[in-house]
């Protein structure tokens, strides 16, 4: 009996809830959403966010769910297993907010690396960076300032490149790396590394209209009177700078801006664009549909 004499009462104990992100992809067919929802009900799951997309181009179906439940990761996975088998789903279950282990590649430019490091430190990105690797030692003080281990090796020959990439792949395996970010890493990854990191390596590069290659692109842009500059973040593939695009941003400029001002504007766009791509990846919001991406933002 309670202290006020109102008879028997039940004390409700707050259950500890887990929050999961579930991503699914398969050939489009009837009944997928119903089957997935039913499986999550069996696991005592409450769907708090749901997005889906059917691609007319490839005939593929994509879905992202956020679920809260008192069930364990193993229980949720087990409940989904029959649905995965029946519909031929490619599926992942991840804990919401779990920081992804992210290795960063850099060269000499500091702007994109700085943005990633400060946002990681401040808790604004769901990543943890256990290592920065570079073909120069210029950014070692920056990594050290944020308490991140730094390793560098000059690359001046194919032998150097092979040695560097062997160490990269070793670190990816040993450190259980889930994402590799090319933060203005000014080397072209070999096809074997691109294949090994397929779907989990993101690159950033400047985007101009028209495009300029080679040394000092911002000076070239200034000389040609470019009106738009920007940046593109994309997955790394063996086709140079042609991987599935994740995010793009542009900024309008004019004739009065110096090459240095254009460069500063462009670097801001590069940092903003790369960080957004990393954020979406860490939140499991990116799914690949052939040569393009589906972004559930």
Could you list the active site residues?
241
Contacts of 115 (CB under 8 A, 6+ apart): 271, 272, 274, 275
Greatest alpha-carbon span in the chain = 87
61 in Cβ contact with 88 (< 8 Å):
no
Angle at 161 between CA 104 and CA 103, to 5 degrees: 10
- What is d(CA 71, CA 275) in angstroms, rounded to the nearest whole number? 33
The number of beta carbons lying within 10 Å of the beta carbon of residue 240 is 12
| Residue 132, beta-bridge partner list | 104, 150
Alpha-helical segments (H) within the chain: 32-42, 73-87, 111-121, 140-145, 158-174, 191-196, 217-224, 259-282
217 in Cβ contact with 206 (< 8 Å):
yes
Q: Which two tokens stand for residue 95?
A: 């804990």
- What is d(CA 90, CA 121) in angstroms, rounded to the nearest whole number? 33
**Phi, psi torsion values for 130, nearest 5 degrees:** -85, -10
């Amino acid at each position: 009996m309670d202290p006020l004499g109102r008879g028997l009462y039940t004390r409700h104990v707050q259950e500890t809830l887990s929050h999961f992100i579930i991503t699914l992809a398969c050939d489009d067919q009837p009944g997928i959403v119903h089957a997935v929802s039913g499986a999550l009900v069996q696991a005592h799951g409450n769907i708090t966010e749901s997005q889906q997309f059917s691609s007319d181009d490839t005939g593929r179906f994509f879905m992202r769910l956020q679920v809260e439940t008192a069930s364990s990761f193993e229980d949720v996975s087990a409940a989904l297993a029959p649905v995965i088998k029946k519909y031929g789903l490619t599926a992942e279950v991840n804990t919401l907010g779990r920081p992804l282990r992210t290795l960063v590649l850099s060269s000499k430019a500091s702007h994109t690396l700085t943005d990633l490091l400060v946002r990681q430190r401040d808790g604004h990105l769901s990543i943890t960076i256990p290592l920065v690797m570079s073909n120069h030692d210029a950014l070692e003080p920056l990594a050290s300032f944020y308490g991140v281990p730094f390793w560098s090796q000059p690359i001046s020959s194919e032998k150097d490149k092979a040695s560097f990439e062997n160490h990269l792949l070793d670190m990816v395996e040993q450190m259980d790396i889930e994402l590799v970010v090319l933060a203005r890493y000014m080397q072209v990854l070999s096809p074997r590394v691109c294949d090994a990191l397929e779907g989990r390596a993101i690159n950033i590069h400047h985007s101009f209209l028209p495009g300029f290659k080679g040394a000092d692109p911002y000076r070239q842009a200034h000389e040609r009177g470019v009106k738009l500059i920007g940046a593109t973040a994309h997955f790394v593939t063996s086709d140079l700078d042609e991987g599935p695009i994740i995010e793009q941003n542009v900024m309008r400029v004019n004739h009065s801006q110096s090459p240095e001002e254009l460069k500063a504007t462009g670097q801001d766009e590069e940092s903003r664009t790369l960080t957004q791509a990393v954020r979406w990846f860490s939140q499991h919001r990116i799914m690949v549909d052939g040569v393009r991406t589906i972004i559930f933002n």
